[in-house]
Amino acid sequence: MNSKEFYQTIEGVVREKKISYMDAVVWYCNENDIDTATVGPLVSKNLKDKISIEAQTLNWLPKTGKLPI
């Protein structure tokens, strides 16, 4: 599996189960007996960005500055 296929799989899990991206990655790993520490190379930039936004929303990561528009 490459990062594009992994991203599409996680997107499907998010839509189907109506859970967050972080939860979807953990769920997928649990269902397929994969150690969560080993999926790092499969996480694409798009998926990292979505997980980062979720983490910022939950105040797990500091919010990044945004320029006023």
Specify if 27 maps to a domain. Answer: yes
Q: Which domain holds residue 17?
A: 3-57
Contacts of 26 by beta carbon, 8 Å cutoff, 6+ apart: 36
Give residue-wise pLDDT tens across range 8-57.
Answer: 999 999 999 999 999 999 999 999 999 989 999 999 999 999 998 888 88
| Overall domain count for the chain | 1
How confident is the model at residue 61, as a pLDDT?
67
Specify if 62 maps to a domain. Answer: no
Specify if 64 maps to a domain. Answer: no
Specify if 65 maps to a domain. Answer: no
How confident is the model at residue 68, as a pLDDT?
65
Specify if 63 maps to a domain. Answer: no
